[in-house]
């Protein structure tokens, strides 16, 4: 099996686009920083897309964050430079 080290937001961004699981570049930066503290995490675009959600701040202005589309986002939350919010769905 071929393993590729994903050590940049740019590479993660490109791989997520190829897998048709688009996240913003800023979300990919946050994910790279988050997963950097783990040993030997296997890349799985579908798992990332299931475990993480990125929304525009304007989408949550009229909602309480914990009620957004029925999802619990009391876990990990990152406020991104582009104004979006990245949160874990677990």
Q: How confident is the model at residue 72 (pLDDT cuts 50, 70, 90)?
A: very low
Q: What is the pLDDT of residues 8-25, one digit of tens each?
A: 999 999 999 999 998 999
Q: Which residues contact 16 (CB under 8 A, 6 or more apart)?
A: 22, 23, 28, 45, 48, 49
Q: How confident is the model at residue 37 (pLDDT cuts 50, 70, 90)?
A: confident
pTM: 0.79
20: left (phi over 0), alpha (psi -120 to 50) or beta: left
Q: What is the pLDDT of residue 65?
A: 53
Q: Which residue has the higher pLDDT, 70 or 25?
A: 25
């Amino acid at each position: 099996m071929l393993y590729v080290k994903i050590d940049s937001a740019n590479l993660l961004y490109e791989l997520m686009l190829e897998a048709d699981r688009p996240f913003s570049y800023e979300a990919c930066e946050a994910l790279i920083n988050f997963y950097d503290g783990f040993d030997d995490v296997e890349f799985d675009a579908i798992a990332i897309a299931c475990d993480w959600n990125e929304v525009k701040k304007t989408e949550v202005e009229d909602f309480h964050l914990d009620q957004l589309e029925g999802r619990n986002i009391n876990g990990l939350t990152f406020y991104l430079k582009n104004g979006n919010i990245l949160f874990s769905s677990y």
